[in-house]
Amino acid sequence: MKLKPIYLICLAVLITGCGLNNEKVASISEVTNKKNSVDEVSNDSNGYEYVLFHNVSTIEDLAEISPIVLTAKGSGVSREFIYRDLSFYKTRVKVNDIFRDEFNDLDNDLEITILQNNGDMDPKVQNNETVLLFLEKYEGPIIEDAYVIIGMKQGQFKYNNNGRIMSKANDFVISRNTKNDNLKSVESTLNKVQYVNQNRKPRTKEEIEALNKAEEQLPEIKESKDGIKN
């Protein structure tokens, strides 16, 4: 059996129901085995189970797992597209200041694409909105040449003219722990806390096959949740 690279878009990722039409939306965060990371499992109003990866509580936590940190400005309307019956968004942002770029891929004023789902856990960056983003390069089947936000809304902050940052994750611990932070303190933290490469141990053949099988079953799972027989 051919082993596909897995970036989790199925049972092992966040799956939520949102929108007026009760459309299902999937996230694109990969599972982490990081010791200080907590996998939280809960249910949304439609009963869809989701798993939140990279649960962080401080800027230090984000700094350790984020290869890319920058400020940016929303530069247009997010474009929706469908992948395997799931709704995603291509959000375009223009890079302002780069605080960290482990791979030296980015330049100031460059426009990049953020892969998002616009669920409660991953609110879209709005046009002309200025944000501080903790990112990683997306690698997977959904889209080419895009980035994802570490910790989803936990890795996305608004900031004002004075540089004060405001977390978009108001219902998470990180919002309380960063209420006195600003762009300068974030930059200082990034200088102190080195990025730890999040490459995991190679998955076993059995693990990869199990994840591939779960991904292939996703449309059938979606149908059964809607009450339609497979």
Q: Residue 161's domain is classified under what CATH number?
A: 2.40.50.120
Domain count, the chain: 1
Tell whether 163 is covered by a domain. yes
Q: Name the more confident of 206 and 178.
A: 178
Tell whether 42 is covered by a domain. no
Q: What global pTM score does this model have? A: 0.69
From the list 77, 56, 67, the residue with the least C-alpha distance to 102 is 67
CA dist 157 and 178 (Å) reads 10
Predicted pLDDT at 47: 25
Predicted pLDDT at 67: 96
Residue 110, pLDDT above cutoff 50: yes
CA dist 51 and 61 (Å) reads 19
Range of the domain at 172: 56-192
Q: What is the pLDDT of residues 74-99, one digit of tens each?
A: 998 889 999 988 889 999 999 999 99
Tell whether 109 is covered by a domain. yes
From the list 90, 191, 178, the residue with the least C-alpha distance to 132 is 178
Tell whether 117 is covered by a domain. yes
Predicted pLDDT at 111: 96
Calculate the average pLDDT of the chain: 74
Q: Name the more confident of 55 and 132.
A: 132
What would the two tokens of residue 58 be? 């401080």
Tell whether 92 is covered by a domain. yes
